[in-house]
Amino acid sequence: MTAIAHEPITQELLLDGFLALGTPEGFRAELIEGEIVVTPPPDGDHEDYISLIVKQVIRRSRTDMDFSGNKGLKLQSSISHPTDHVIPDGTFAPTQLRLFKGADPWMSCEGVAMVLEVTSSKPRTDRDSKRRAYARGGIPLYLLVDRGADTLTLFSDPGKDDYSQSCMVAFGKPLPLPEPFAFELETTDFL
C-alpha cells in the first residue's frame, strides 16, 4: 500500500482526484485506506457465486431483504486516510428501510445489514483492506467468498479497525447466517 501524508489537504486532494477519475467502462474504482484500487469486470464464475447467495437470501431470510449489486458506500476511515469509498459486490438491507431508493451514487452505510465480496483479480483487497473498511463503517456482517481458498467466511461484531468474530466453512458446507437473516446458507452448488 502506498503511504500518503496525513495532512488534511493531502487527503482532500486524494479524495477529489479519486472522485474525478474517468474509469474505463466496466471497471470500477474504489478508494480504500488511502489507495485507489481499480478492478476489471468480473468473470462469470464470480457472478454465479453472487447469484447463488442472493437467491437464498431473498428466499430464505427471516427478514425481507433488498439487494443492490455494486452500490457505492462511503465508510468511516482511519484518521490517516480520507473517507473510504468502497463498492461491494453485493449489499443487503432490510426491505422496510428502502435504503437504496433515491440513494446517492456514494451512499452512507447506515442501515446496511451485510455486504458480500467474491474474490477476483485483487483477492488481498477483499480479504484485508475491504474487511477493515467495512468494520470501521460499522457494517454488522461481511460475507467473503474466497475462490482461492474454496471457503466462505462470515465476519461479524465490527470494531474500530476490524471484525472481532469470524466463521469460516469450506465450499459444500452450510454457513449459519445470524439475524436478521437467520438461516443456513447452503454452499453445495459452489463445488
Give pTM, 2 decimals: 0.86
What is the DSSP code string of the chain? -------HHHHHHHHHHHHT--PPTT-EEEEETTEEEEEPPPPHHHHHHHHHHHHHHHHH-SS-EEEESS-EEEE---TTSPPEEE--SEEEEEGGG-TTTT--SEEE-TT--EEEEE--S-HHIIIIIHHHHHHHTT-SEEEEEETTTTEEEEEEEE-SSSEEEEEEEETTS-EEE-TTT-EEEP-GGG-
17-59 pLDDT, tens digit per residue, is 766 667 777 788 888 888 888 888 899 999 999 999 999 999 9
**pLDDT band, residue 13 (cuts 50/70/90):** low
Which domains does the chain possess? 43-71+86-190 (3.90.1570.10)
Residue-level pLDDT at 160: 87
